[in-house]
Amino acid sequence: MNFKSIALATTALVVIAAAPANAGQYMGKVNLGGGFASESWTEGGESDLDLDYTTLHGSASVNVPYSDRINLQFDIFGSASLDEAFSDGPDGSFYGGMGAGVHLNYKDPSVGAIGVFGALGRANVGSTSSSDGVVFAAGLEGEYYCNAWTLSAQIGYLDSDHTVFGLVKNAGFVRVGAAYYASSKLKLAANVGHLNGDTTNTGPASDFDEWNWNFSVEYLFGKSVPVSTYVEYKGQNVDVYSGFEDDDRHEVRAGVRFYFGGGDDLQKADREGASFESPDILTWPRFISD
What 3-state DSSP class applies to 128? coil
Taking the alpha carbons of 196, 199, 205, 208 in that order, is the dihedral positive or negative? negative
Are 254 and 51 a contacting pair, CB within 8 Å? Answer: no
Residue 271, φ and ψ in degrees, nearest 5:
-80, -25
Q: Where are the extended beta strands (E) located within 82-131?
A: 96-108, 112-124
Quote the CA–CA distance of 114 and 102 in Å, as a whole number. Answer: 14
Residue 23, φ and ψ in degrees, nearest 5:
-90, 60
The pLDDT of residue 9 is 52
The pLDDT of residue 121 is 97
Provide CB contacts within 8 A for 277, sequence distance 6+. 75, 154
Segment 141-163, tens digit of pLDDT: 999 999 999 999 999 999 999 88
Query: Which option is the CATH number for 3-272: 3.30.70.60, 3.40.50.150, 2.40.50.140, 2.40.160.40?
Result: 2.40.160.40
Q: 116 to each of 23, 35, 157, 209, 253, how far by Cα in Å?
A: 24, 30, 12, 24, 28
Segment 74-123, tens digit of pLDDT: 999 999 999 877 655 556 788 999 999 999 999 999 999 999 999 999 99
How is the chain split into domains, by residue range?
Answer: 3-272
Segment 6-22, tens digit of pLDDT: 555 555 555 554 544 33
Please check the confidence at residue 205 and state whether its pLDDT lies above 70.
no
- The predicted model scores a pTM of 0.87
How large is the average pLDDT for residues 188-214?
88
Residue in 191, 193, 186, 188 with CA at minimum distance from that of residue 172 = 193
